[in-house]
Amino acid sequence: MAVQVTGQVLDIRRAGSYHVLSLTAPGITELTRPGHFVTLGIGGEESSMLLRRALAIHQVQSRGVYGGTLDIVIGVHGKGTQWLVDRRRHDPIDIVGPLGRPYVLPKEAVSTVLVGGGYGSAPLFMLAEQLRERGCRVDVILGAATEERLYGALELKRVASTLTITTDDGSLGQRGRVTDVLPAIMDASDAAVVYACGPMPMLQRVSAIATSRQAYSQCAVEEAMACGVGVCMTCVLPVIGEDGVTRMLRSCTEGPVFRGDRVRWADVGTVPSDTLGAPVGGGH
């Protein structure tokens, strides 16, 4: 269940190369679970940018004078995200959410590893807290190209059992990639679940590492979305169902969180020939 509300900008602040936008979002925060996302209308009524932008929900505050507020972490990518970070206090923003399938939490108090790439750490905060509440061990790995593209390391440190940082250029933490350190960290805690959010190639490798260690992986993907609510079919990727059949599933409603071992990572961006209803011969 998602709702559409007009929120207001409460605050916008920089964090490294990102911006954190706090919005009032009455009615949305109450329903939010880790891994949910929102879509925001861009550019005002006379905007030439028709499509909403999808952003992971970072934090929610359900009470307080504003009756529900949420934070999102924005990396400026193009004109829509630029518009968002140019907002000022009290500006209205049209919000739809919470959207998507959130992370699935383990029933038991197992060990977990959370892996975030760049702003992909944003949804891991709520997740880490809820896992801790359930008694899970939570080891966190954050990676980015360079220090200023890490988000929230200090805050995550507070809630994590361990925090490991990697940067491509070695400007903070270990030089290298999150997947360089993941195996050892999984092994140390005997992790049963890996939660990940970040670029597709990262998710692919995280998922492979988890699977090779008989662990579950829960990966939040990022596919271009036109509607965000499941009606347009733009955001699909090939996913293997329980019946062993590959289908093109909508990442906005059947994701963005998928079981890593179900996603045909190497085939993302294609329609594998054994997909249900795949083109025969000349294609569609």
Partner 1 sequence: MTRALISQGPVPSAPLPAVDMSTTLGQLHLPAPMLTASGCAASGRELDQFFDITTIGAIVTKSVMANPRSGRATPRMAETPSGMLNSIGLQGPGIDRFIEHDLAWLEERGARVIVSIAGSTVDEYGKLAARLRTVRSVAGIEINISCPNVEDRGQVFACRAGSAADVVNAVRRHSDPRMPLFAKLSPDVTDIVEIVDAVVRAGANGVSVINTVLGMVINTDTMRPHLAGITGGLSGPAIRPVAVRCIWQIRQAFPQVPIIGMGGVRTGLDALEFILAGANAVSVGTSVFHDPSAPARIQVELQRALGERGFTRLADAVSHAHRPADSRAEFDDDIDFISE
Ligand X SMILES: Cc1cc2nc3c(=O)[nH]c(=O)nc-3n(C[C@H](O)[C@H](O)[C@H](O)COP(=O)(O)OP(=O)(O)OC[C@H]3O[C@@H](n4cnc5c(N)ncnc54)[C@H](O)[C@@H]3O)c2cc1C
According to CB under 8 A, which residues from 70 to 109 bind its own copies? 79, 83
The distance of closest approach from Cβ of residue 77 to its own copies in the complex, given in angstroms and rounded to an integer, is 14
Structure tokens at 67: 């009756």
| Cβ pair 253, 230 in contact under 8 A | yes
Q: Which is nearer to partner 1, 9 or 106 (CB)?
A: 9
CB-wise, 19 or 137, nearer to ligand X?
Answer: 19
Bridge partners, residue 164, by sequence: 141
Residues 79-98 that bind partner 1 (CB under 8 A): 82, 86, 91-92, 94, 96
User: 227 vs 240, which CB is nearer to ligand FES?
Assistant: 227
Q: How far is the CB of 244 from its own copies (least distance, A)?
A: 46
Measure Cα distances from 144 to 21, 161, 231 in Å: 21, 20, 33
Binding footprint of ligand FES on the chain (CB under 6 A): 225-228, 230-235, 250, 252
Specify the residue for token string 């994701």: 255
Q: Cβ closer to partner 1: 104 or 208?
A: 208
Report the site for partner 1 in 31-60 (rule: CB under 8 A): 41, 44-45, 48-52
Sign of the torsion formed by the C-alpha atoms of 108, 109, 111 and 116: positive
| Site residues (CB under 8 A) for its own copies, limited to 48-77 | 48-49
Sheet holding 92-99, edge to edge: 53-56, 37-40, 92-99, 3-15, 18-24, 69-75, 59-61
Question: In DSSP terms, which residues pair with 143 in a beta bridge?
Answer: 117, 166
Give the residue carrying structure tokens 């400007």.
171
Query: DSSP label at 265?
Result: G
Check binding of 240 to partner 1 (CB under 8 A).
no
Could you tell which of partner 1, its own copies, ligand FES, none binds residue 83, using a CB distance below 5 to 8 A set by kind? its own copies
Binding mask 210-249 for ligand X (x = CB under 6 A): ------------xxxx------------------------
Strand order in the sheet with 162-167: 174-175, 162-167, 137-144, 111-117, 193-197, 216-220, 257-259
Per-residue binder mask for partner 1 (CB under 8 A), 202-231, x = binder: x--x-----------------xx-xxxxxx
The H or E element spanning position 53 is strand 53-56
**Residue carrying the six token digits 């190639």:** 201
Helices (H), 54-149: 79-85, 124-133
Between 10 and 49, how does the x/- string for binding to ligand X read (CB under 6 A)? ---------------------------x------------
Q: Where are the beta strands (DSSP E) in 145-235?
A: 162-167, 174-175, 193-197, 216-220
Extract the tokens encoding 256.
Answer: 């963005």
* Residue ranges binding partner 1 (CB under 8 A): 1-6, 41, 44-45, 48-52, 75, 82, 86, 91-92, 94, 96, 117-120, 143-145, 149, 168, 177-178, 198-202, 205, 223-224, 226-237, 247-248, 253, 268-271, 275-279, 282-284
* Residue ranges binding ligand X (CB under 6 A): 37, 51, 53-56, 72-75, 77-81, 119, 122, 222-225, 256
